[in-house]
Amino acid sequence: MKPDINNLDDIILFVDVFYSKVKLDNLIGPIFTNIITNWQPHLERMYHFWDAALFGVAGFKGNPFAKHAPLALNAQHFDRWLILFNQTIDENFEGINATEVKNKAAIMASMFLSKLEYMGGNVNRVIV
């Protein structure tokens, strides 16, 4: 049996593993690596983001959608992001918090897609 996500150390683990997969992915990897030159500050922000999203811990400030809005993203990108994210969680964790973080990721991807569509993007809506 795998552990559940219980604390910041667990978040650091899944964020680090997830982004190592992202960097190697032929679809979404180039989007990230063309923008992020110094990964540590991005990873730190993601630790705080997921700590706030999952456990309500204060410390994250920012607007994640604003960072993504100018990018040429479509449903395929969000689908791949979710596949890699869920794969990372499922490989390392199971339990209530693991399920919750996957649900929050799916909601976020759906919301980002909806906002991009509203802004006039040519996005095909296919969420896994």
User: Has residue 18 been placed in a domain?
Assistant: yes
When the pLDDT of each residue in the chain is averaged and rounded to a whole number, the result is 89
Q: How far apart are CA 106 and CA 8, in angstroms?
A: 21
What is the CA angle 44-52-77, rounded to 5?
A: 65
User: Has residue 2 been placed in a domain?
Assistant: no
Task: Answer yes or no: is pLDDT of 18 > 50.
Answer: yes
Least Cα distance to 121 among 63, 65, 69 occurs for: 69
Distance of CA 96 to the CA centre of its chain: 18
CB atoms within 10 A of CB 105: 19
Top-confidence residue, 9 or 111: 9
Q: Which stretch of DSSP H or E encloses residue 91?
A: helix 75-92
Residue type at position 98: A
Give residue 53's domain range: 8-118
Beta carbons of 14 and 6 less than 8 angstroms apart: no
Q: What are phi and psi of 34, to 5 degrees?
A: -75, -20
Per-residue confidence band for 125, with pLDDT thresholds at 50, 70 and 90 = very low
Task: Answer yes or no: is pLDDT of 5 > 80.
Answer: yes
Q: How many domains does the chain have?
A: 1
Q: What is the pLDDT of residue 123?
A: 45
Domain with 26 in it: what CATH number?
A: 1.10.490.10
Q: What is the pLDDT of residue 120?
A: 65
pLDDT (tens digit, 9 = 90+) per residue, 69-102? 767 788 899 999 999 999 999 999 999 999 999 9
- pLDDT above 70 covers a percentage of the chain that reads 91
Q: How far apart are CA 82 and CA 88, in angstroms?
A: 10
